[in-house]
Chains A and B, each alone.
Chain A
Amino acid sequence: MRSRWLVSAFSRTLTLAFSRHVHRRRFSSATGVAVKKVTNSNFEPALEELRVRVREADFVAIDLEMTGIMSAPWRDAFEFDRSDVRYLKVKDSVEKFAVVQVGVCPFRWDGAKGSFIAHPHNFYVFPRKELPVDGPSYEFLCQTTSMDFLARYQFDFNACIHEGISYLSRAQEAEALQTLSSAYKDEFNDSLHNLEEHVEIPLLSTADLLFTERMKNRFHQWCDELIKSPAKNSPLEENSDSNKMQFRTVFFKMRPAVLLDGFSSHQLKLIQLVLRKHFKDLVYVRSVDENATWRKIVVYTDSEEDKASLRKEVQEDLLKTTGARVRSAVGFRHVIDLLTSEEKLIVGHNCFLDIAHIYCKFFGPLPSSMVEFALAVHKNLPRIIDTKHLLNSSHIIQYLMKRSSKSLSSAFSVLCPRVSSPSQHVASNSYVKVEVQADETGSCCFNSGAKHEAGYDAFMTGCVFAQACSHLGMKFELHSQSIDFSKNDKIQNYMNLLYPSWNSGTVIDLSTGMENPDSSYKRRYPQIVFSNIVLVWGFPSNIKPKDLKECVCKVFGRDSITSIFFLDSTAALIQFSKEELVNDFLILKYKLESNDDPISVLHPLAKLLEGGNTCAANYETYRDICSSSVSKVLFVDQAEAVGIRWKTKVENGSGETQKFASNTENAPGDGLPVVKQVTGKKNDPKRQSHHQVSCQDILDSLHASNSLFVKQVRST
């Protein structure tokens, strides 16, 4: 039995609904949208139901909540990030933070009702370690502000950690199956051929000796009993013999056996030793019982063949249970597998990071480049629409949104007033109707949705998408049943186009991996030329952007600087107007540092170098620092943690690199050949802008330059 109600009509009949459903539903906040809460306890049935819903659905909206976004302030997305840097930052975020909530909301068009039917689900997930194998996600980072943000929106951390659904990615699943089965195999081989290794356990303490003696006697006694009266060997009789020294006989694989209970691991080792030394017909076996706990059993076998067949049986058992355990540990990934296998249109709002999380958590490790990533995503999730991009690039919607904020919730309230605030009387018929459906059975797990809860955010995203499609001219009414969005040429234009970050000014096409400028984006900084950029860090803390600009302009002229951007209080990117100035700056800095004469001290740039910790390099170094897995809060500490021990790095046109530690040992004249070489060779702008210097290039150049500047290169 199901109850359906129109969301728009809901609040008008709120009192009615309350009186009818109050014993089942809690509507704490005003949204009044029933979102299904799914945790470990109701995952299985919820998954089965979701299978049906997704199969019927025309599209599925998703949203994720994470434990954080940036592992350090300077890892935030900047306009000054080149495409590869931006991807490195996303990759870092995805690899470090955990997903705690996933909202999945299938939408189905019901032609008869003229309305979409939505089923918002809110999955609590937690990377619980359920198998004894390593996984990259069992240690994760929490950004304090993000946790606080979640707390402010009443996120239920207890539900997440106590009952969150665990998961394994496809890669983890394959690895787990392999390691677990090989581990069991090893165990058996070990117990067969490693006899001599194990015998070496020394019996040093008297307690150990006494224990082994006692065990020997007890096992002898037990064996004797078995052989003497195999027929009478019933557990009842055993119990009547209240002597605690006696083992209780159980049956394992049709053989008499003893369950070893209450022994420590050390004692178990000693028992194994005793068995191996003195009992040819007793086999020590570890097996997993129904409750997935390990049981240690000693089994009696009548012959060598019997022993071998027992071993085989146990091993097969273990493999079988391993398979089952791994399957159950896959957990929440079944939902993602469902989405990929049904190949439904996925809709998300500003979902690049969400998709990256899905890839990393449920498919496998992220590829090293943006292009590879895009193509790999496309293979698994062939159709994705980013509503953020959709809203921004449609003029009609931009007109409707006017000046209101671009956040999901404001888009929702502007575009879907009938769904977001049903109490207001909205006459227009241009609004797409959305109905939320919840089944009566098991409705105890329904909560009223709230902002920034993944399930409700997914619902809002779906509503915004449906409404946006209608504004773009899609006529849902013409469809009696399912709608294929990808066939619609208006929607086609937005397919698989995502914003890599909110301020990238580009869109990436997942189907090709190409990144193109986004026409609707308004830049805050002048056009960025990465080869004109110098990275400076470690300067005195009192230097503000204004001071830095003044300082550099004094040396290179008023219009030498295009823009200055502070990554954090300890590091800045300076974009020069001309590419030559990058090397001029680096060489001048090096020279000033290696000379200790009054001219250097009085030089305008000396202010920047005060403290002697100022380092500088070109844009590539920024990329390298971003690619490190370390995350220190301050950029200065990060550079040090990455292992940068030099202070100036000059790269000339042919990709040759010089690093200067600026030791006082350097003779002043040492700097001269560099200048010569740099000016001697022409810069190759193509290479510089394309930044892909192969490792071999760098090595070659290091070799070449080593011979020239042995004295200067210090790599402490």
Chain B
Amino acid sequence: MVASGGKHCWCRAVKQITKSNFSAALQQIKAHIKDADFIAVSSQKTGDLSASSSHRYPWRRVLPIDVPETAYLKAKLAAETFELLQFAVCPFRFQGSKLVAFPYNFHLFPRDELNLGMPSYSFSCQSSFLTSMAREGFDFNVSIYDGISYLSRAQESIAKERTPTPLVYSSSSSPTPSVADSIFIGRIKSRVEHWRNACKDSRNMTDGSLAKSLRKLILGGEVYGSRPSLSIDVCSDRQVQLTLETVTHISDDLVPLVVLDKSVGPKSVRVVLTSSEEDKHLLMSEIQNLEEEQNLKVRGFREVIDLISSSHKPIIAYNCLHDFTFIHSKFISPLPPSLNEFMCSLRLVFSNIVDVNHLLKEIGPLRKAKNLPAALSYLKRQFFVPIDMEIPQPADGNSNKNHGHNVLRITRVFAKLSILLKIVPDCQTSLGRHTMAIEEYANIFYPTSNSVQETEADDVDFHMDNVRKISTDELIFMWGFRGGTSAAELKSHLRQTHFVFTEDFELRLVDNTCAVVVFQKSGSAEALLKEIGSGKTNSTAPSKMLSEGLKAAGYETYKKVCRLGLWEAELADSLESVTSDSSGDVVISSGEDASDIYWSSESMIDLNDL
């Protein structure tokens, strides 16, 4: 029953959830979330632009040259392109030195359950992702046949407008009725009373089936479940209100339900006749259940997200920017155009998100841990942090499905880090003097150029790269050179074209068509861009550069490319269309909004390193 400690035991302890066992699991996880201190989440996607395997559009990955804003825009693109296939949730709590965790892995598929073209009309897959999932034994049939569907909050409100469901309306007091109103009321009243009496009558009679159906035909009565009902057509909200009032005045055993038409609004009021007070309660609870069932069908997996959101528990994730752009776009609403708006919108739903990646930065040597396994192995080697993990829920019968174990890895790394950093959950803050509230670490995201899914392969080591801070002002993008030129060739070529290149500078290829140049001396970049922009030539050199078709632009242009969403296959094309749009003006970044990026000569992609 209890799987603890050994790595191999936990994999099987992750509860696999599909459509068939979803509603049962929902009740369980509700309780577990309530008791938990933290909730760890992780997800599996059909593709990822930041994946190192994505060679198709190398510049669309999150690169070391990206500032948070552009990193967000790239993450946004990924979230809008790809789909979630699995979502693992693990509520856990500390019990002394023990960690009690309840891992669940939900299989998702964006099936159009309501025939509304939602949640997603189409999605992209990267075959390398699917292949690596297949290697781990992922069952695609389970996901696609039985995956749980969902709608985002925004989509739910659209769906509500379009799918008619009978609703119990609360009648509000209305202004004094007009003449037309009183005629309407009179008509409704007599019709309903007549029908009600007929129904009551017919109970006593033992008619033949023919007579029964004839009566039904004449009275216009229908059946709601096992109870007789009558539909009254209405054409405005006012009439709905009047009908509701009238019906409730006639008798207590009548329950009016409003039927909405697709997109138009209320279509009719359905009056249901109940036989007694108990029967009325029964009907009301039936309707309530129906509504909940419908909601579950509409929201699907999002119920879990809503549970997490309303619990206000700290959420633990790795590579948060990336994961939460997915969560926001799939379960909340379409992603806003800027990072600030995204963070605001996200905070309204999840008040407290902790990026494990950020915590790793707090421990010096872990700063460079490129992925979770690397961090785990480092922690194991360097620190003695005994953690006893207990997973009380019974393991699944089918033991070969070990998906979603990444969430346990996150849980474990977090547990170790929280002990090292002396982070404790809110409720225990008063216990020790040297403790830090979790809030100190919340809602700080680090854009990373690595994704969790890609890390299994090799290289569990630290890259000792010399990261240094450089300003985006010192950086320019160059394109227009012959495709297939190597960085070294380009560098030596540039040295001859302009005097700014005689000083020391660094050059990397972003993709086949575009290079990024970092100047050591501040002001060089600006000077060069100004010169190109003005078309004035101090020497003959830049004109030589330009006549060769070489072009340059500052960081602002790159930002604009990302902001406008010009995700052309090649960065040069995107830069070109932005610069040509602004009538040939090369945008020069003004000092104020320049930001710093961490430039490392190692982690920059290298096309020759295939």
Contact = CB atoms under 8 A, between A and B. Distances in A.
Interface in B595-610: 608, 610
B197 to A, nearest CB: 42
Interface string A133-160: 0101111111111011011000011101
A632 B581 CA distance: 23
Contact of B458 (A148, A264, A715): A264
Most chain B C-beta atoms within 10 Å of own C-beta, residue among A71, A148, A190: A148
A248 interface: no
B56 A138 contact: yes
Interface in A260-318: 264-267
A202 interface: yes
B127 A151 contact: no
A73 B140 contact: no
Given A134-B56, A151-B145, A633 B117 contact: yes
Interface string B177-194: 000000000000000000
Interface in B101-150: 109-112, 117, 120-128, 130-131, 133-134, 139-141, 143-145
Nearest to A140: B125
Contact of A127 (B56, B127, B581): B127
B469 interface: no
Contacts of A183: 610
Contact of A144 (B112, B126, B128): B112
Interface string B416-458: 0000000000000000000000000000000000000000001
Contacts of A197: 488
Interface stretch (A204-212, A408-416, A461-469, A649-657): A204-212
A26 B380 CA distance: 52
A136 B126 CA distance: 11
B375 to A, nearest CB: 15
Given A264-B459, A266-B464, A162 B134 contact: yes
Given A134-B56, A148-B111, A197-B488, A158 B141 contact: yes
A264 B458 CA distance: 8
B569 to A, nearest CB: 9
A158 B135 CA distance: 11
A204 B131 contact: no
Nearest to A180: B610
A641 interface: yes
A158 B488 contact: no
Contacts of A132: 610
A147 B461 contact: no
B7 interface: no
Contacts of A129: 53, 127-128, 131
B361 interface: no
B47 interface: yes
B122 A142 contact: yes
A126 B110 CA distance: 21
A641 B564 CA distance: 9
Interface string A84-119: 000000000000001000000000000000000000
Given A73-B117, A162-B134, A134 B127 contact: no
A160 B566 CA distance: 34
Nearest to A194: B488
Nearest to B131: A128
B128 A151 contact: no
A186 interface: yes
Given A138-B128, A144-B110, A194-B488, A161 B122 contact: no
Interface in B154-186: none
A148 B140 contact: no
Interface in B460-478: 460-461, 463-464, 466
Interface string A64-93: 000110011100000000000000000000
A715 B122 contact: no
A63 B55 CA distance: 31
Interface residues of B, number: 45
B394 interface: no
B111 A161 contact: no
B386 interface: no
Nearest to A645: B581
Contact of A134 (B55, B83, B488): B55
A633 B116 CA distance: 12
By size class, the interface of chain A is 35 or more
A98 B127 CA distance: 10
A459 B488 CA distance: 58
A128 B133 CA distance: 12
B565 interface: yes
Given A139-B56, A141-B122, A128 B127 contact: yes
A142 B134 contact: no
Interface string A211-229: 0000000000000000000
Contacts of A186: 608
A642 to B, nearest CB: 11
B581 to A, nearest CB: 7
Contacts of B117: 73, 633
B47 A139 contact: yes
Given A205-B464, A715-B581, A140 B610 contact: no
A207 B565 CA distance: 43
Given A134-B55, A134-B56, A266-B464, A161 B131 contact: yes
Interface in A165-204: 183, 186, 190, 194, 197, 202, 204
A138 B127 contact: yes
Nearest to A264: B461
A140 B130 CA distance: 11
A73 B121 contact: yes
A144 B123 contact: yes
A202 B466 contact: yes
Interface in A635-676: 641, 643
Given A151-B145, A186-B608, A641-B565, A139 B111 contact: no
A318 B460 CA distance: 28
Contacts of A194: 488
B560 to A, nearest CB: 12
A98 B126 CA distance: 11
Contacts of B143: 157
Most chain A C-beta atoms within 10 Å of own C-beta, residue among B46, B122, B128, B145: B122
Given A150-B144, A202-B466, 5 more contacts: A144-B111, A144-B123, A148-B112, A186-B608, A264-B458
Q: Top 3 A-B pairs ranked by shortest CB distance?
A: A157-B140, A264-B461, A205-B464
22 contacts: A68-B122, A98-B125, A134-B56, A139-B126, A140-B124, A141-B123, A141-B125, A142-B46, A142-B123, A142-B125, A157-B143, A161-B130, A161-B131, A161-B133, A207-B464, A208-B464, A264-B458, A265-B458, A265-B459, A267-B461, A631-B122, A633-B121
Interface of B: 46-47, 53-56, 83, 109-112, 117, 120-128, 130-131, 133-134, 139-141, 143-145, 458-461, 463-464, 466, 488, 565-566, 577, 581, 608, 610
Interface of A: 67-68, 71-73, 98, 126-129, 132, 134, 136-145, 147-148, 150-151, 156-158, 160-162, 183, 186, 190, 194, 197, 202, 204-205, 207-208, 264-267, 631, 633, 641, 643, 715
